[in-house]
Amino acid sequence: MKFKNKRDVRDFVWKRIERVAEFPFPVKGRIPNFKGAKKACEKIRRLKNYYDSEVIFCAPDSPLLRARQIVLEDGKLLLAPKPHFKGIIMIKGNPENAYLSRMLKYGVELKAETIREIVNEIGIFIQGCVAIDIEGNRIGKGTGYGDKEYEFLREKGLITSKTVYAVICHDLQIFDDLSYLMERHDVKSDVILTPKKILLTRVGRERDISILP
């Protein structure tokens, strides 16, 4: 299946995923939440790299809630962006603080000029998506925040060659090839976690990423 542009991909997925979508609605214009999102998130614990990581970055989207809870349950440091990427906040402790409203209330905002002095390198960088292909080419909701967050953290030295880029989504969001729609600033992911499987992308297969049974 070939698409004219990223907008066509988004419209296709937002329609396609309605049958498995969960709150919030409508799904259009969002990183869609879906049935099985918790199960997909829990697969983060099957990545050996996760256990070797002290700091995890996770976007604040609804389908990633369980991933954020897991990070806090396991005593790790959670970093998350404020809405519209108006800053980075740091959360640790109570898993209930994984909800966006509580992250904003109880999280500590980090200043860009001192963030590297406070936080160690990020082990896992977690995003959702609207669509992704098996090579790791990701399409978000169109704001570009995911790529901006990645680039900001890379420039600050928090994302390194050891950081694993994980995308959590439904199997309905995965395509064979979206590379022809990608732009220079688009970052490829290493691994895709769905309710049914863990998929190493081409980039991920070239790295030392171990999947636990």
Q: Tell me: the pLDDT tens digits for 48-66? A: 999 999 999 999 999 999 9
Dist. CA 129–CA 207, nearest whole Å: 22
According to the model, what pLDDT value does residue 171 have? 98
| 38 occurs within a structural domain | yes
Mean pLDDT of 58-84: 97
CA distance readout (Å), 206 to 72, 132, 191? 29, 18, 11
For residue 142, the cross-strand partners are none
Which amino acid would we find at residue 13? V
Residues of the chain above pLDDT 70, percent: 100
Nearest of 44, 108, 37 to residue 70 by alpha carbon: 44
Question: Pairing mode, if any, of strands 88-91 and 108-110?
Answer: antiparallel
| 206 occurs within a structural domain | no
Which amino acid would we find at residue 56? I
Mean pLDDT of 79-91: 94
Nearest of 28, 54, 14 to residue 170 by alpha carbon: 14
pLDDT for 32 beyond 90: yes
| 125 occurs within a structural domain | yes
Report the mean per-residue pLDDT for the chain: 96
Sign of the torsion formed by the C-alpha atoms of 59, 73, 20 and 212: positive
What pLDDT, in 10s, does the model give residues 176-199? 999 999 998 899 999 999 999 999
Residue 192 tokens read as: 């895709």
According to the model, what pLDDT value does residue 185 have? 85
Mean pLDDT of 94-99: 97
| 17 occurs within a structural domain | yes
| 205 occurs within a structural domain | no
| 212 occurs within a structural domain | no
| 171 occurs within a structural domain | yes
pTM for the whole thing? Answer: 0.96
Range of the domain at 178: 6-198
What total of structural domains would you count in the chain? 1
Nearest of 75, 76, 82, 44 to residue 60 by alpha carbon: 82
Mean pLDDT of 164-170: 98
Q: Which residues, at least 6 apart from 165, have a Cβ–Cβ distance to it below 8 Å?
A: 125, 127, 136, 150, 187, 188, 189, 190, 191
According to the model, what pLDDT value does residue 208 have? 85
Q: Phi then psi for 40, rounded to 5 degrees?
A: -65, -45
| 159 occurs within a structural domain | yes
CATH number at residue 145: 3.40.50.10420
Q: How confident is the model at residue 167 (pLDDT cuts 50, 70, 90)?
A: very high
